[in-house]
Amino acid sequence: MKQAGHASHQSRLNEDEIRSIIRQVPDFPKPGINFIDITTLLAHPQAFRLVVDEMTEVVRAMQPDVIAAIESRGFILAAPIALSLGVGFVPVRKVGKLPAETIRAEYDLEYGTSTVEMHKDAISPGQTVVVVDDLLATGGTAAATVQMAEQLGGRVAGVVCMVELTFLEGRSKLEGYRVETLVRY
């Protein structure tokens, strides 16, 4: 792992440097799963800043009016991006967590389905939306978020994630959309 001060002398980190800071936890949450744990990057202030800055520039190029962020680690990355760009932040949450009227989208899991929600008034027709999350795995939550944004009349400019698990082929659920990631496993 890098020394805390190392990244401060750089303007960006390359993929190998980011990967070296992110911890992998074998057999979590169940045997056979290699969990990509970004908390080690979040605890590294210089690396965290550089990753958020790099993601901000990718999102900026998509010219969003709002950023739709997926619970919960997506919030950590998307909030500073939205603030930096001066655009709105739209939380996408698990069912029952948002207080006002919502719309829902269901997506497939390895065994069964899950559902996410967004406030019905979160996106106005014609707004440009960028979806932000920490990790693109199967693409289910990102595709569900895209579906909800479009249902509300938004125009989805792209999906931006810090990490992509390429072997799970999540991009296939987002065909036709711009998908940008910083690190691939």
Question: Cα–Cα distance between 34 and 24 in angstroms, integer?
Answer: 6
Question: Cα–Cα distance between 185 and 178 in angstroms, integer?
Answer: 19
73 labelled catalytic? yes
Q: Which of 17, 49, 73, 171 does the annotation list as catalytic?
A: 73
Cα–Cα nearest to 138, from 95, 169, 114, 99: 169
Beta bridge partner(s), residue 91? 69
Cβ atoms of 134 and 39 within 8 Å: the answer is no
| Three-state secondary structure call for residue 65 | coil
Instruction: Give the chain's largest Cα–Cα span.
Output: 46
Q: Which of 110, 117, 150, 171 does the annotation list as catalytic?
A: 110
- Which residues have a catalytic role annotated? 73, 110
